[in-house]
Structure 1
Amino acid sequence: MPEPRKRQSRSARGESAGKNGTSGAAANGPTPGNGTATLAEIARQAGVSAPTVSKVLNGRAHVAPATRDRVEELLRDHGYRRRRGPARRRPSGLLELVFHELISLWATEIIRGAENVARQEGLTLVLSESAGRREMGLSWVDGVLTRDPAGVILIMSDLTAEQSALLVSRDVPFVVMDPAGNPADDVPSIGTTNWQGGYTATRHLLDLGHRRIGVICGPEGVLCSRARIDGYRAALETGGVTCDDTLVRHGTFQHGAGYAIGKELLSLPDPPTALFAGNDVQAMGVYQAAKELGRRIPEDLSVVGFDDLPISAWMGPPLTTVRQPLTDMAEAAARLVLDLGRGHEPAMRRVELATSLVVRDSTAPPAR
């Protein structure tokens, strides 16, 4: 019996201050500092179990953010340092692209941009989706840590504080492209000038003489939706037009939403003479609704989209739309995340690329 107890004691000490600066419970993670506290002692001070401390050291999931913060603070106080270097200097040859929904032509343009960079860097592009959820589950984080990609790009998705901490703790660089919410200051992000795009689209319709202008946008809680509608409202205000809230609608960024909401708006007693759709896919739905109701575009209804997908130039009539450079955005996100993985700190962690109006045949002055 004494010998097993002796081995157990060595193991407990080895978890915090082995002779070679490695730990039994976290061999790939921490380097002890002054060795004044074992993991068991840190666990006691934090009010948690030793396995929980080990999880924090190894950057594993399923630890509450407040608990993780408390344990991290104690580890720092006792001089523990994570060992960064050889293991993270040779990540797998993967670049991971994560969509909340992988079902539209919009995603194709983003994939094209990321693939351009992956090909140049000799990386393999990996695609995944969160089945419509804006926040990724912890099981996804565990999978990322197992795959150990060179970088992760999240499209219109958000990470919780715990998920961000897990990726940071294991040196997995990540960038959010077109963030769903307002990312924290230290979260790198690539976006576009959504407010300006909404303003420009509405200003174009006002300049044509429209005063009853409806807007269909994406989910109310999504950052780009709010920004585009804010731009729409600002354009109406500067144009001296009172915003009619009955003409402001939210839906998904899908064809079905453009069709259903477009039909509702065009069936009002005083329907809009122009519609600004939240994206080109919604605009396609508006086209279908207008056709079913016998409204000609642009003679009876002007339509503006957002994105400038390649198909927008082939619609009948070709769609006036706000171009956001999706391929360029994806390329910028890929280069940013790879630079972060190489230890290069960017000059700016939040970048917005410019939008521009592409005028085609779907807009005209209102019928007199």
Structure 2
Amino acid sequence: MPETAKPTVTLKDVAEASGVSVATASRALAGRGDLTRGTRERVADAARSLGYEKSVATRGRPTTLDPRLIEFVLGSFDDAWTDAMTTGAREAAFRLGFDLVLTLDRPDPSDDWPTRVATRRPSGVVIGIIRPTARQLDEIRGLRIPIVLLDPMSDPEGELASVGTTDWQGGYDAGVHLANCAVDRFAVVTGVPRYRFGRAREDGFRAAIAEHRPDADVLHIDSQWTDAPLSADLMKLVTDKRPIGVFACNDEMALAVYRAAARAGKRIPDEVSVVGFNDEPRAATARPPLTSVHQPLRDMATRAIELTQELRRHDEPAHERVELPCTLVVRGSTRPR
């Protein structure tokens, strides 16, 4: 007995089953439009249960399920950190056969980056150092696109995969190094807000000083992560006659310590020893060259791109945190005993 042909499931069938209009169903399946996560999931579930095949319904138009794009979302593209990250991400994406789309996190709520991502529906999304809101993450999750956080500001606590560096160990190594310099007191300069990586770096530094110089106190100075000012607290820090070892949680703040020392007439490293974090290009060209903890930024971005593709191959991926080791680069801003 001949087999009865299965009726073709149309987009109208999917729309009726999910309780939305045909236009909304089309936008949801194409990843377009500013739709809620619930609507996208309801339409996708209806399409799966009905066996809807987009390629049949669209009369042979090419599928857009995998456009071979990876989205790299950043808050800015104008500093050494983002330059290194973008280079690593671009090289990894091209090696894997993908194009890389650079997406800016704009402050305008009407031009939210998840809507732009939904329009392109890429093969993966890497979110670099910005703090996505719960609503933004829900919208991307609703698209069922792999998400990787790159050096996140807060701990994702296993909800999302993330890539970073060994921040605590980097702070610890900086502390061990300064503990062996000819200084009598110590300070840590960290940024506000107190992001996850800043807390880890300070904790590692304090652990090293407590272990190697248990009689010494560690002063705490708040600063800004970017455009670090020459504050009254920094000036007060370096004006004491006793030599001091300062660990700054990024190179921007370390260079602010340089400016404070110069204004106070203090010599680096004779009277003020300074260690930064990131090892951006300015560290090597400072006078004297800045001792800094080197982050493998390009390798971190490469690993994040690779991880988006590994997540695509698993139905229930483990949301792991990948940490690449950082290394202390000793230069002229410190002088061991």
Q: Is the 8 A contact 2:172 2:207 kept in 1?
A: yes
Is 2:333 the counterpart of 1:362?
yes
SS in 1 for 2:145: coil
Provide the C-alpha distance between the structure 2 equivalents of 1:137 and 1:344, rounded to a whole number of angstroms: 33
Q: How does 1:1-368 map to 2 (within 5 A)?
A: 20-24=8-12, 39=18, 61=34, 63=36, 68=38, 87=63, 89-91=65-67, 93-130=68-105, 139-239=112-212, 240-241=214-215, 243-244=217-218, 247-254=219-226, 256-257=227-228, 259-260=230-231, 263-266=234-237, 273-341=244-312, 343=314, 349-364=320-335
Identical columns (%):
34
SS in 1 for 2:304: helix
Task: List per-residue Cα deviations over 1:83-114 (Å, max 9, x = no partner).
Answer: 799756422x4332222233321111111111
TM-score (norm 2): 0.79
Provide the C-alpha distance between the structure 2 equivalents of 1:236 and 1:56, rounded to a whole number of angstroms: 57
SS in 1 for 2:102: strand
Unaligned runs of 5+ in 2: 1-6, 56-62
Provide the C-alpha distance between the structure 1 equivalents of 2:51 and 2:312, rounded to a whole number of angstroms: 17
Q: Is the 8 A contact 2:288 2:333 kept in 1?
A: yes
Please tell me the residue identity of whatever aligns with 1:250. Answer: D
Q: Is the 8 A contact 1:95 1:118 kept in 2?
A: yes
How big is the shift at 1:183?
A: 0.8
How big is the shift at 1:129?
A: 2.9
The aligned counterpart of 2:3 is none
Provide the C-alpha distance between the structure 2 equivalents of 1:272 and 1:103, rounded to a whole number of angstroms: 36
Please tell me the residue identity of whatever aligns with 1:90. Answer: D
Provide the C-alpha distance between the structure 2 equivalents of 1:217 and 1:170, rounded to a whole number of angstroms: 37
How big is the shift at 1:182?
A: 0.9
How big is the shift at 1:262?
A: 7.0
Provide the C-alpha distance between the structure 1 equivalents of 2:310 and 2:294, rounded to a whole number of angstroms: 27
TM-score (norm 1): 0.73
Q: Is the 8 A contact 2:191 2:223 kept in 1?
A: yes
Provide the C-alpha distance between the structure 1 equivalents of 2:126 and 2:109, rounded to a whole number of angstroms: 12
Task: List per-residue Cα deviations over 1:131-158 (Å, max 9, x = no partner).
Answer: 5x7x998721111111222322111123
SS in 2 for 1:364: coil
Q: Is the 8 A contact 2:69 2:100 kept in 1?
A: yes
SS in 2 for 1:251: strand
Unaligned runs of 5+ in 1: 1-18, 28-36, 41-48
Provide the C-alpha distance between the structure 2 equivalents of 1:81 and 1:161, rounded to a whole number of angstroms: 31
Provide the C-alpha distance between the structure 1 equivalents of 2:246 and 2:168, rounded to a whole number of angstroms: 17
Alpha carbons of structure 1 residues 26 and 204: separation in structure 2 relative to 1, 3 Å? farther
Provide the C-alpha distance between the structure 1 equivalents of 2:34 and 2:162, rounded to a whole number of angstroms: 23
Q: Is the 8 A contact 2:235 2:261 kept in 1?
A: no
Alpha carbons of structure 1 residues 90 and 72: separation in structure 2 relative to 1, 3 Å? closer
Please tell me the residue identity of whatever aligns with 2:83. Answer: T
SS in 1 for 2:287: coil
The aligned counterpart of 2:4 is none
CA-based RMSD = 3.8
How big is the shift at 1:291?
A: 1.8
Q: Is the 8 A contact 1:173 1:337 kept in 2?
A: yes
Alpha carbons of structure 1 residues 362 and 355: separation in structure 2 relative to 1, 3 Å? same
Query: Which range moved further: 171-180 or 115-124?
Result: 115-124
SS in 2 for 1:224: helix
How big is the shift at 1:193?
A: 0.9
